Structure 1
Amino acid sequence: MVEAFRCSGRESPWYTAVDGLILLRAQAEQKQTHLVHKPALCIVVQGVKWTTFGAQRLAYRTGQAMVVSVEMPGASQVIEGGSDAPYLSVVIELDGAIMREVYARMDTPPPSVEGPAAFVMDLDRGLLDCAARAVRLLSEPEAIAMLYPTVMREICYRLLAGPHGAALARMVVGTERDRRVTHALQTLRERYTETIRVDELAGVAGLSPAAFHRKFKAMTGMTPVQFQKQMRLMEARRRMLSRAMSAEVAAYEVGYASPSQFSRDYARLFGAPPRRDIERLRRTGLDA
């Protein structure tokens, strides 16, 4: 699998011809990057990285993977990598439809359990072989459409049948309450520019505001307000970088009524005010 990184000749991240398969390479420790994580298996081929979701920090290294089961904002940083042994990672976004299909066909599907929506796991030979087959398909582009769904089906099976299957089962079925909390999370993600009261989200989840707040934070590591704020700030950053949008316009479009509050929140998350941060990103060529 390491050979694929040597031969790619591409910038990192490399969004490959396989939809949802991304290769990452870093020659050295980097500043943290912020992005909205999709449900995915994030495999470390070489090096060490950490990712934070609110108050939860996950460190994972060679032979391990981070699994994310719901779409949510987070920050990541490579903490071990160099010119002789660069950080290498394979991100495989999980197909929810295939995951549900596999779960329904299992003789003894795992029960759903409550817990964080992201966790670190040790990789076994079966999962590593699946990831290697997925990467090898890049040299056979004509075979991707036919063979990659089969690889994805095996990945989903091995995740559900493995020691962390119960944690992944919530992504597929979960309890009625889990599904309603996840629906409330999706509502907040889709309507992040709006002013949404926690009472309204709690009603979607069928919980009291206090109980919803506890469950949401246990799942994502963030309060609903923190989740929405990160979604707004990441989207504003993306718009300023890709559309040359001013901070004031970006702030307004993502739901901020006060440009000064936006600037304070932005600097707190990204380490610099909007203009200085965007100038740095353009100068260094880094992604937002």
Structure 2
Amino acid sequence: MMEALAETILRYTERQAGPGPYEVPSLNVHIMRSDRPNPPSHRIVEPALCIVAQGAKWANFGEERFVYRAGEALVVGVETPSTGRVVEASPDEPCLVLALALDPDIMRSVAEEMDSPPVAGGKDGRGIFVADFDGPLADCARRLVRLLDTPEAVPVLYPGIVREICYWLLTGPHGSKIAHVMSANGPSRRLMDALHNLRDRFAEPVRIEELATVARMSVSAFHRQFKALTSMTPLQYQKQLRLLEARRLMNSRAFNVEAAAFAVGYESPSQFSREYARLFGVPPKRHVKHPHAIAGDQGPEGDERRAL
């Protein structure tokens, strides 16, 4: 089944103009083809399912790396900064990827209609993991790509395919993890409230105690569960938001290095430069002179938040 999905994606990309990625914004669907390994790219990833039909990719969240290959999908249940890269691709066997947004409301609606919905679980509370993607799930993905060639059928058939994907995810081996992240109540939802609070105030000094209060948890429980959900600590999460936003501001040509550093909350330009170079691989002054030195980066307010 995965071979059929790869063939369908390959045919779709061969009919498109330009190198891609190919986006269907109204459906939150992205199709990517890479004929060779690419440099790391940095962006904010929203809840999504990123399916590799051929080739391989990796994605870093904090200090944790997830490698996913043909027949696997990266499941991201939480909005978070990430670095991603295609690592296996060639002109003869390009890396082929289908990414689609995960809508918590649709997932919960499907769960409510099931006779025996999965119980939210997963002691580690992970919001990011790699899952096998074959059988019925691969068939759904293939039909979704084929549907893009008949736009008039999309409004009628697309919602059903998305619900079917949600059903197979919920009934699969990771159903309890997905239910845990997508639950409207419970620890994950309270953590999401704190995460959104941190995201909205990323340029301000934020005390962990404040975030723990928003999540209605002790400081130690909040710190532990936040890291389990996002694969990074709250301070690491805030730092990456700041650096991605600084990158966007410098890309706009309206901010120099110091102005960008202060705008995102740094008090020390030298500290900003060190941390920027550690994340992006080049110091910010070099980036200002050569703005295309790092491809594919987006800030927190960028227009291209998407799957890896």
Task: Mark the runs of 5 or more structure 1 residues left unpaired by the alignment.
Answer: none
Deviating 4+ runs (over 4 angstroms):
278-281
Q: Partner residue of 1:36?
A: 44
**Cα displacement (A) at 1:279:** 4.7
Higher helix share: 1
Q: Partner residue of 1:178?
A: 188
Q: Partner residue of 2:264?
A: 254
Is 2:29 the counterpart of 1:5?
no
Q: Partner residue of 1:271?
A: 281
Aligned positions, number: 287
- Correspondence list, 1:1-288, <5 A: 1=8, 2-16=10-24, 18-114=26-122, 115-173=125-183, 176-277=186-287, 279-282=289-292, 286-288=295-297
The one-letter code matched in structure 2 to 1:287 is: G
Taking CA–CA contacts closer than 8 Å with sequence separation of 6 or more, which of the two structures ends up with the larger relative contact order?
2
**Cα displacement (A) at 1:174:** 6.6
Measure, in 2, the Cα distance between the counterparts of 1:21 and 1:176: 29
Q: Partner residue of 2:304?
A: none
The one-letter code matched in structure 2 to 1:247 is: V
- Worse overlay, 32-41 or 239-248: 239-248
Query: Residues 177-220 of structure 1: CA distance to partner in whole angstroms, max 9, x if unpaired?
Result: 23212221222122212211000011111222122111111221
Q: Aligned pair in 2 of structure 1 residues 56, 125: CA closer, same or farther (>3 Å)?
A: same
Measure, in 2, the Cα distance between the counterparts of 1:238 and 1:11: 23
Q: Give me the TM-score of the superposition, normalised by structure 2.
A: 0.87
**Cα displacement (A) at 1:246:** 2.1
Q: Give me the TM-score of the superposition, normalised by structure 1.
A: 0.93
Measure, in 1, the Cα distance between the counterparts of 2:269 and 2:287: 16
SS in 2 for 1:8: coil
Measure, in 2, the Cα distance between the counterparts of 1:84 and 1:27: 8
- Worse overlay, 52-61 or 231-240: 231-240
Q: Aligned pair in 2 of structure 1 residues 82, 182: CA closer, same or farther (>3 Å)?
A: same
Measure, in 2, the Cα distance between the counterparts of 1:214 and 1:280: 39
